């Protein structure tokens, strides 16, 4: 049984909207969008995740349950804040 709390979809959609808008600076210092292809479905998914950047190393943090799917993805795309 999975006891990990899920993020309500309206929060995810709001973050995606903000990160794609001109006012992304409010959240883009700690949150980025990751797009990946589902391991089984082959569908493309985009979700916001927390990140930390130290030099060229970027660490991603998520409470999502799809970690295996994302880790198994052959190709992922990251949307960083403008200027980086």
Give me the number of domains the chain comprises.
1
Q: Is residue 4 part of a domain?
A: no
Give the per-residue pLDDT at 27: 87
Per residue in 19-72, pLDDT (tens digit) is: 989 988 888 888 888 888 877 888 988 888 888 888 878 888 876 665 555 555
Q: Is residue 19 part of a domain?
A: yes
Q: Is residue 3 part of a domain?
A: no
As given in the structure block, the two tokens for residue 15 are: 């973050």
φ/ψ of residue 34, rounded to 5: -120, 135
Give the per-residue pLDDT at 84: 45
Q: Is residue 2 part of a domain?
A: no
Tell me, yes or no, if the pTM score tops 0.95: no
Task: Supply the range of the domain harboring residue 35.
Answer: 9-79
């Amino acid at each position: 049984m999975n006891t990990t709390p899920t993020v309500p979809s309206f929060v995810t959609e709001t973050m995606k909207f903000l990160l794609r808008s001109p006012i992304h600076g409010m959240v883009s210092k700690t949150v980025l969008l990751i797009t990946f292809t589902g391991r089984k479905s082959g569908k493309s998914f985009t979700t916001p995740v927390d990140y930390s950047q130290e030099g060229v190393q970027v660490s991603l943090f998520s409470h999502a349950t799809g970690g295996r799917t994302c880790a198994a993805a052959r190709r992922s795309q990251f949307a960083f804040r403008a200027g980086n």
